Structure 1
Amino acid sequence: MPIAMVTRRMDQGQPATWVKSLLLLGALLFALLAFYPQQARANLDCSVANVNMDFGTAETGTDVVSWTCTIYSDNPANTTLCLSPGDPYPGTPDAPAMQNSTGTLLYYHLFRDPGLTQPLTPAEPATVPVSMPAGIGVTTGGTITIYGRIDPGQTVASGDYVGDFFNSVLGFIAEGSSECQSSIQVGDEIYTGRAGTFEATANREASCTISALGDADFGNVLQTDTNLSTSTQISVNCPVGTAYFIGLEPSNGNDDGAGVMAGSAGNSDTPGYQLRSASATGPIWGNSATETSVGNGVAGTGTGAADAISVFVTLPSTAFRPDSYSDVVTVNLNF
């Protein structure tokens, strides 16, 4: 109280009414301060840690989302907590996506169940029941598990991919509604959750596939034929922008693409052939290619689709006994 600071001197015999007034003023100020309203607080307040579906290098992912609720009420709380993704970027609600630094899109979907049959969408949020006793500052918590899958059949460049869901909600489902709301009123009480950003990340490593589209068949030849040629194709599918180098290795292990064919048992004749690229008179196609160098192989760059590459085989001479001859060539794809 400021009474100790008063230095006014009373004349003898003067009524001391001013002291009483000062005491009343101090009491009034105390009363006003005591009942000044504080900032309103939700009766049930729930929050969640950062939500991040990290696929890593896998095709599927799982995110265990931790939530916490605190009650400030003389009444117990019984409600349904929900987690709803918001507006995806990039992509659309029906086709959310992640993108790399060059803008290449990688599409994925989120689910509420490990069998990946129940989509996670704003209209179909993940839910968990919450029951809390009455109390002031009483806290409880739990988890909501969500699942993800990279859409199959995508061939994209290697690198890091990131996507977001903006306006995502950790909230409540009011009675008679299916919408996940960040705040609802239950009687005279307010339940408050959070709105925020949901992130999805992935890392794609370069992944290429290669297959043979058929045999290189010379058919029936005469012993007088010379300088015969035939061809076939191989199919290569690599992510957009991925450099690759292809080597061909005959069964005899020759790195210059010079192989030999074998006939039936007891036949010692071994017709020799040569593998070539571009044409029947093109460069030899051997097996010195590596992950960083074409060597005597063939180089290419992925388009994200299957690319057909021709292989030519020449047979300089047919001076061998009648029989069926064949060999197996191994295709080595380096990327």
Structure 2
Amino acid sequence: MIIVVAKSILMRIIILIIFTGLLLPIITTPATVHAASGAISCEFSGGNSFSFGSLSIGSTATTTASAKYTCHLQDYTPGVNHYANICLSSEDAPPFKMQSNGDSEGNVYTLLFRVYNLSDPAQELQQNDNLMQQTIMLNTDNTTVGGTFNLRGVVPAGQNDIPAYSYYNYSMTMRIRWNTETSTDALASCQSGQAQNSVTNGGNTQSSASVSDSCAIQSVTNLDFGLLEASTLRQQTTKASAQIQARCPLGTAFSLGIDNGSHANGNSRQMCNGNNRCLNYTLWQDSSASMPWGNTANVDRVDVSSASGSAQSFVVYGEVPSGQAVNGDGIFSDDVVITLTY
């Protein structure tokens, strides 16, 4: 049986970057006083849950979900627009928990996951800090207005100490808070800690995952050669390293192979920029660059036996050979496919 897991290793080289700036005068304007806004009422109106599907012990998984809401004015003044900042938070602190049903001895196990803003992957769903924010306008005709928070759920890799079971969270509670004004300039942000009112979804968000005991590539770090100058590339070999983390059940023999990448020239790996200017690079199993890392069985794959059933780390050593003339600058990159065979 062969599992092929595509992971992107970003080989990044920036030859030259020049920034120029223009200092502009700072112009200030007098503050404007805005009229008080009318009250609004909001509620959760639906959405979907986090279904992570099947994953191997210790591996990562991602999925998407949503939280929908609707709002309407309670204090309506014809001809006056009202604006609202809608703020999403959780009643529990991350990481969130999915739990197994009890086994024959009554033991219950926990699988952790985190939730992020789909449009801003760095923003995590929290209890009271860094709340997710959307701004809506409630029309002068008093129409009900709705919105959707699109979310990304992530099961972090490395949870190796849990058994193969199904895991659930049946009652994840989210909260929306809001502030209203007749001008967006006067609106209090979600980060201000202010809220005119709030409501929860009653714990109606669910999550699920099925964990199996099989082989998986759990994570791959980027192979980054950093910021280089053309003279450096001509005169010396540049080195960097990345890491692959993989896991197989106890006693399983497996191998790891790496293909020649998306810009290969025959058997030579290449990184290329947006103008199709390329640099040769090589991947090795050892720091002395004596054993190449490829994807041919019994030749240049890494052969392993899982002695403990725990996750194992493997270092990928990369080199950009010297003597290369660079005709172009920018970010040079390549994507390679890592194959786990067992």
- Give the TM-score category using the shorter length: 0.3 to 0.5
**Higher Cα Rg: structure 1 or 2?**
1
Q: Which has the higher contact order (CA 8 A, sep 6+)?
A: 2
Q: Report the TM-score when normalising by structure 1.
A: 0.42
User: Could you state the TM-score of these two structures normalised by the residue count of structure 2?
Assistant: 0.42
